[in-house]
Structure 1
Amino acid sequence: MSQRRSSPPPQSGPAAPAEPAWLAAHAARVRVLQPGLRVHADDAIDALDATVQGHCAPGLHLVFLLEGGLDIAYGERRVLMRTAADDGCVQAAHGGARRAGGQPRCVMVNATEPESFSRRIRHGGYARRLSLCMSHDWLHQLQAASGTRMPAALEALLSGHLALRDWQPSARAVALAEQVLHPPACAPMMELLYQDSRLLDLLAEALAPLQAGEPAARPGPAPNAALARRLRDLREFLGSPAADTLSLDDITRHAGMNANTLQRHFRRAYGTTVFDFMRESRLQRARTALERDGISIKQAAALAGYGSAANFATAFGRRFDMAPKEARRAAQR
């Protein structure tokens, strides 16, 4: 996607960066994984008020917002995305509005022909996101290699110009996206392989509902602001070591609601159960400690809540498609 920046209105605050530096910084965050498959990863605060304009190529565009907000438009199709639970929403011009909770958001927009693109940015605005573009040729080559017909739901999406579909990412998809944005420290070549493997895994997750012919996921009603804040605080607490030894009764007392209500609201907000979220958080912490600090496999197993290093290695391999010792090597480079 080529882009240019329109002249920003007069503003107070930090001076806008020079155009060449701004464009160079943007270009450095765009990478071609394969011919027909491109990714743009970003984790930044906007330094100015402006409208970024350009052109997007035909293809299926997937926008994955992990945190913050985006105001983008493909031609006449405007998409607003927010992850703040108290005032967030996902809106699509000509497509109504849907309330969203405080969880990451994802949309897929299809372009059958070259189309204009714009993004409105404001000074101090923040977005942590991944944008992927899959050309139609790349998708059809993938379909041909599989020896099967294109799934009907995917074919229908690809036939509509500016057709839009929501996707509610799973906890696993969120973890994959975070790993792409913030890979472990390693040699540049290994880092690219690490990111590419996770991006392809993420695409498989995103396209799975279309492969299965499932209807577009529609998030349930957003919790009210007070409940949303309680759920966000609870999620942060459950992801910390302080919650590792708590029982469900302990957690419900901490949350101030009964078990059924807690599980229902937590699943609606984050797409997973309380204990699946805690298990995922502990595995992620164990992986980080292996890759960053080089702790022993036995220590990592204890950190993840496993009494047996063998059982930990099995769970770790099932979750990350690698052995714990492979993750530990990153700290030794």
Structure 2
Amino acid sequence: MRELHPLRNRDPAHPIDHGTSVIDYIEGRCSFSNLGLDLSIHTNDSLERLTGHQQFSIPPKITVALMLEGDLEATINGHPVYMTSHDGPSGYLWINSREARLDRWTRAGQRIRKINISLPFAQLLQFVDLSETCLVNLSDEALADVQLLRWKPNAQSLRFAEEIFASDLEHSAIGRLTGGMAALGLLRQALMQSEPDSPDTQGQTLNSRDAKRARMLRDFILEHIEETLSVETLARNSSMSPSTLQRLFKRAYGSTIMEFIRTRRLEQARQKLLEDGITVGEAAHCAGYSSTANFSTAFQRAFGYPPSACIGKSGK
């Protein structure tokens, strides 16, 4: 190995002062930065196999989420969080400056494709000037509580997401570097685009009582998904008017009740195609379609591929 020697003076007329920084010898812009970011990237491209509830403890951090497929229902310290891709890819951001409790519900047969990027809350304050971000209007008192914001992904966001999914984050140093760069890009976009005071965000916020009512309604629908369900019947069971019921459900889950039922039945049909090896015609009947062609069209629209793509995927 070649031996490295200390810097030697080649011009006796201008001796080197070893106590002087190299910056003193140049003119222009020069900087040295050690980011030292504890960036966490969580990707999920999977099929939920069970309907259930999980609870986690999460440390103080900022989390940016990009929802590409499926719906996610959760609460953070009791604050309702509902993420949906019903109207296309959607972005979410939340900050918990203290340790918080995360409750998360899964739904059998639903495919989830999403990315979460997290940064410790202390590093957010250390490396980010909040006055240059969407958080500029949040007071210290507001930051002391859980803050839930939304942001709108653009074409660049989706490219970042695909770079992250394509990167080998677990086994490749280059993959981690590529994924990390894309994750920082998503984090920056979310911080610049989120709108905590937007009317749309406020309109989607439910208090704990309404969130519980919406969840009870959703659970009732899932328990009776194979039965004939109507808004009128559900309203009577919930002691609400049909219009109030529809409005509450739309605010909580981003879709109408009948859209939710139709999507859930399609998810159930997909699960049976994948796991039970049934035919497309049988799946259409399970989803409540009398026409296989109409079922195939609805399936393609919902999942981006035809039901025939599930044939032969059964593990049986």
What is the TM-score of this pair, normalised by structure 1?
Answer: 0.45
What is the TM-score of this pair, normalised by structure 2?
Answer: 0.47
